[in-house]
Amino acid sequence: MDLRQALALFEAALALPPDERRGHVAAVAAGDEALYANVMSLLAAHATSDGFLEPAAAPATPRELGAYRLIEPLGQGGMGQVWLAERRDGGFEQRVAIKIFANLLGDPDALRRAEHERQFLAWLEHPHIARVLDGGSTAAGQPYVVMEYVDGERIDLWCRRRALDLRARLRLFLQVLDAVDAVHRALIIHRDLKPGNILVDADGRARLLDFGIAKSLDARIAGATRTGLMPLTPEYASPEQLRDQPLTTACDLYALGLLLDELLTGRARHAGIPLTELTRHIADTPPPALAARADAGALGLAPRQLREWCRRLGGDLERVVAKATAAEPARRYASARDFAEDLQRWLEDRPVRARAGGRLYRLGKFLRRNRLPVAVTGAAVVALAFGLALAALQAQRAAREGERAQLANRFLTDMIGNANPYEGGKPLLLVDAIDRAAAAIPQQLAGEPLLEADVRRAIGDAYLALERNDAAATQLARAATLRAAEGGTEYARVLSTQAQLQWRLAHYDQAETLYRQALLECRRDDNGQRLRSELLNDLAALLNDTGRYAEALPLARDALALKDRLSGVKPRDRLVNLSNLANALDGVGRLDESRAAYDQALVFGQGLTPLPELDLSTLLNNYAYLLDEMGELTASAQMQERAVALTRKVMGNDYPRLATQLSNLASRYERAGRIDEAGGAIDEALRLAPSGIAPDDPKYGHLLVVAARVALAQGNAPLAAGRARDALAIYARTPTLEAGRREKAAALLALAQQHGAAPH
């Protein structure tokens, strides 16, 4: 029997409630009678001791340690006990945690370990590490350390009770990696990283605790680098710790990998494995896939959410965990910072270093993370527009997946190659690369109608974002023809994009028809229902846009309720849905409810990473309308200014669709009496509008009405009258128009004529 194993198991048992210790020891010892007997003897000796901090001997009156009064025990282990205490020193009051070391089994190293912990923590100043404040010894000679009190929960319980999603868990774990990186840069190994030593406070900040068995890597503390009978937590110990070999920072990285594994699956990888078998098990047994061990209840998820969760655990994330928990230290990450960088890469959809990806893998990641709005603003040597769609459709193809994936990859790489300036003699613009790709479809995708349909839909999306409406219509029409016979969710996606095009062209009836047809095509599986939630939201937005708020409101609510029942819903989609719901509530006159919904959406959106700036810009634009209606003109103008600034930041000053937001800003300025500023904003809107708004679109009419109001405020009645007439002419050609628009334009024309404009 290994005495080190007995001490480790004894330490682990002491961390449990007394009535659970015997069962835990029996399970871990698993037939090793000598180990079981020795640990139970240690527990019996501990139970009969009359040490200073034995719970059974807790006095009725408070205990004092210098300036500190002990309030209640927070936890107990073989190394001693941690108490909640408070300092009352004159007018100074502070709550602290005091760790009092037990002189365990007459261990002569207890005092030195306490001093080491004080010195380690004194060297470390980091927002995610609990600070040391004081230290000393009790009257009985037991050393103690006074630490910053962290009022929080264990990191695993924090994640479970709040049902944090994958990305939120990874962002929280990155805080832990940052703390451990600081520890390692101070030439310290923690050696006991586990959920119980990482708390998360009320602000969602992870805090690293308990340096009781930490080790110095240099000579600052004599004797601190020895190995031997040092306590550890077996379930999170590295193979080299279990074998009592010399340690490096790699042992902490292994424990961090196990911690991440547990946060992603809900289950400790080595739980229940007897200590006597653990070293061999790690060496001989490849860990099962993360998805195979994911436990919905332990993760705090509804069972229906587990499938999407497991899908996202595979691939790169699996490789990151595998690298961190490699049995050989040399195969793990070189540092906590490298570990963090790979997780950040996963969050940003970039290639992870844990995967030795080839050119196609790296290319796919590059395309996926570069969204079209970035590409629209300048030249591109690659077609960023539809890389995501191509990557996604590869995973969606069930029949002949391998062949179709090869075709899709070849098509994509050929398109990139054709965009090479060395091939064409000059840098190729994004739209040129897409034009060439579209022309190559018949030759490269012959005989694959469904793959061709998906590629054409993706290209149609790209053309739509580039304001190439005719080209978009051509690609989408062909995609719809190829998909119509099979129908289903993918056909609904094509119809949805066609609806967006018709909406842009101010063909609202056609757009509504296409949206409703797409809703009928959605399958009843999760993929189809996710699209259905998007379609319901888009249709609600269309109805809001045409003033049919009472019809839009139930659709927006249904879309949001459906998102709440589904897993894998993108946070951005939820944000847009909340914004549309707030807009509909405004439209039906429920202003207080609308404001609450806007506030909820704004808080939610500002908490997303990366920040969805264009969606927030739209939300702020609509919120400004509401504030205007509620008579808060100054706040309304400020909100509108924020909307315009966000759009400029992302899309630049010449983005055509900035015209509508500038028109709204001009309206706010005019109503607030800021006439010169209103004139500048409406002039810029009129400059941009022809490139982004069709001349018969009622939105152009709305812009002209604002221009007429500004002109009248500037004292130019003839110009105001002309713009009001132009707006009325557009409204006359619009079959579906929000109530009151024509009347406002007519009243403005009459007012201009009263101020001297000649009637026509």
- Please write the tens of the pLDDT for every residue from 185-239: 777 888 888 998 899 988 889 998 876 565 655 444 444 433 344 456 778 888 8
Residue type, 234: P
Q: What interhelical angle do 316-324 and 306-313 show, nearest 10?
A: 60
For residue 138, what are its two tokens? 């009790």
- DSSP state at residue 196: G
| Measured distance CA(619)–CA(637) in Å, rounded | 14
What spatial distance separates the first Cα and last Cα of the chain, rounded to whole Å?
A: 106
Closest CA to 175 of 209, 132, 205, 214: 205
| Omega before residue 698 within 30° of 0, cis | no
CA dihedral of 722, 728, 733, 736, whole degrees rounded to 10? 150
- pLDDT of the residue at 501: 93
Average pLDDT over residues 503-510: 87
Q: Is 340 left (phi over 0), alpha (psi -120 to 50) or beta?
A: alpha
345 Cβ partners below 8 Å, 6+ apart?
A: 351, 352, 353
- pLDDT of the residue at 76: 66
Please give the backbone phi and psi of residue 718, each rounded to the nearest 5 degrees, phi first: -60, -40
- DSSP-assigned states of every residue in 108-128: TTHHHHHHHHHHHHHH---TT
Closest CA to 451 of 501, 497, 410: 410
In this prediction, residue 367 has a pLDDT band, given cuts at 50, 70 and 90, of very low
Under DSSP, is residue 71 helix (H, G, I), strand (E, B) or coil? strand
Under DSSP, is residue 312 helix (H, G, I), strand (E, B) or coil? helix
Question: Rounded to an integer, what is the distance from CA 212 to the centroid of its chain?
Answer: 34
152-347 CATH = 1.10.510.10
Residue type, 493: R
pLDDT, tens digit (0-9, with 9 covering 90-100), for 432-465: 777 877 887 887 777 788 888 888 898 888 888 7
Mean pLDDT, all residues of the chain:
79
In this prediction, residue 334 has a pLDDT band, given cuts at 50, 70 and 90, of confident
Average pLDDT over residues 71-94: 73
Q: Which of the residue ranges 97-111, 173-187, 342-356 would you say has the lowest mean pLDDT?
A: 97-111
273 Cβ partners below 8 Å, 6+ apart?
A: 235, 281
Residue 397 has pLDDT above 50, yes or no: no
Place of tokens 């207080």: 592
Overall fold of domain 55-87+95-148: Phosphorylase Kinase; domain 1 (3.30.200)
- pLDDT of the residue at 531: 94
Under DSSP, is residue 207 helix (H, G, I), strand (E, B) or coil? strand
Residue 173 CB burial class (10 angstroms; 0-12, 13-18, ≥19): buried
Place of tokens 């074998």: 243
Residue 738 or residue 478, greater confidence:
478
Any alpha helices (H) in 353-448, and if so which ranges?
359-369, 372-376, 387-396, 401-418, 421-424, 430-444
pLDDT, tens digit (0-9, with 9 covering 90-100), for 712-756: 999 999 999 999 999 999 999 887 777 788 888 988 888 888 887
In this prediction, residue 648 has a pLDDT band, given cuts at 50, 70 and 90, of very high
Pair 394, 401: CB distance under 8 Å: yes
Distances from the Cα of 227 to the Cα of 191, 223, 240, 241, angstroms: 12, 10, 11, 9
pLDDT, tens digit (0-9, with 9 covering 90-100), for 100-110: 776 544 445 55
Per 3-state DSSP, the chain is made up of helix, strand and coil in percentages (nearest 5) of: 65, 10, 30
Any alpha helices (H) in 445-487, and if so which ranges?
449-465, 469-484
Residues written for the chain = 760
Average pLDDT over residues 368-378: 39
Pair 595, 630: CB distance under 8 Å: yes
| Measured distance CA(392)–CA(490) in Å, rounded | 12
Closest CA to 241 of 250, 251, 249: 251
Residue 497 CB burial class (10 angstroms; 0-12, 13-18, ≥19): buried
Question: Catalytic residue numbers?
Answer: 192
| Measured distance CA(226)–CA(640) in Å, rounded | 64
- pLDDT of the residue at 726: 94
Average pLDDT over residues 566-588: 91
Place of tokens 């961090």: 256
CA dihedral of 544, 545, 547, 548, whole degrees rounded to 10? -40
Residue 141 has pLDDT above 60, yes or no: yes
Pair 412, 397: CB distance under 8 Å: no
| Pairing of the two strands 92-101 and 143-148 | antiparallel
In this prediction, residue 91 has a pLDDT band, given cuts at 50, 70 and 90, of low
| Measured distance CA(158)–CA(129) in Å, rounded | 17
| Pairing of the two strands 80-89 and 68-77 | antiparallel
Residue 485 CB burial class (10 angstroms; 0-12, 13-18, ≥19): exposed
In this prediction, residue 58 has a pLDDT band, given cuts at 50, 70 and 90, of very low
- pLDDT of the residue at 741: 87
Question: Rounded to an integer, what is the distance from CA 62 to the centroid of its chain?
Answer: 46
Closest CA to 622 of 655, 576, 691: 576
Q: Which of the residue ranges 127-141, 361-375, 730-744 would you say has the lowest mean pLDDT?
A: 361-375
Q: What interhelical angle do 469-484 and 449-465 show, nearest 10?
A: 160
Residue 3 has pLDDT above 50, yes or no: yes
Residue type, 708: A
752 Cβ partners below 8 Å, 6+ apart?
A: 708, 712, 717, 718, 720, 721, 724
The neighbour count for residue 278, using CB atoms within 10 Å, is 18
In sign, the C-alpha dihedral spanning 538, 544, 547, 553 is positive
Strand (E) or helix (H) holding 75: strand 68-77
Question: Rounded to an integer, what is the distance from CA 183 to the centroid of its chain?
Answer: 27
pLDDT, tens digit (0-9, with 9 covering 90-100), for 258-277: 999 999 999 888 887 776 67
Pair 585, 553: CB distance under 8 Å: yes
In this prediction, residue 416 has a pLDDT band, given cuts at 50, 70 and 90, of very low
pLDDT, tens digit (0-9, with 9 covering 90-100), for 653-665: 888 889 999 999 9
Residue 341 CB burial class (10 angstroms; 0-12, 13-18, ≥19): middle
For residue 633, what are its two tokens? 């003109």
Residue type, 757: A
- pLDDT of the residue at 123: 59
Residue 415 CB burial class (10 angstroms; 0-12, 13-18, ≥19): buried
| Measured distance CA(491)–CA(504) in Å, rounded | 20
Residue 46 has pLDDT above 70, yes or no: no
279 Cβ partners below 8 Å, 6+ apart?
A: 239, 242, 243
| Measured distance CA(260)–CA(324) in Å, rounded | 9
For the chain, the domains span 3-48, 55-87+95-148, 152-347, 487-608
507 Cβ partners below 8 Å, 6+ apart?
A: none
| Measured distance CA(49)–CA(40) in Å, rounded | 14
Place of tokens 């919905």: 296
487-608 CATH = 1.25.40.10
| Measured distance CA(39)–CA(34) in Å, rounded | 9
Query: For 157, how many CA atoms within 13 A lie in the half-sphere containing its CB?
Result: 11
Please give the backbone phi and psi of residue 74, each rounded to the nearest 5 degrees, phi first: -105, -25
- pLDDT of the residue at 197: 87
Q: Which residues pair with 73 in a beta bridge?
A: 83
Residue 655 or residue 415, greater confidence:
655
Residue 530 has pLDDT above 80, yes or no: yes
In this prediction, residue 670 has a pLDDT band, given cuts at 50, 70 and 90, of very high
- pLDDT of the residue at 420: 38
Pair 530, 493: CB distance under 8 Å: no
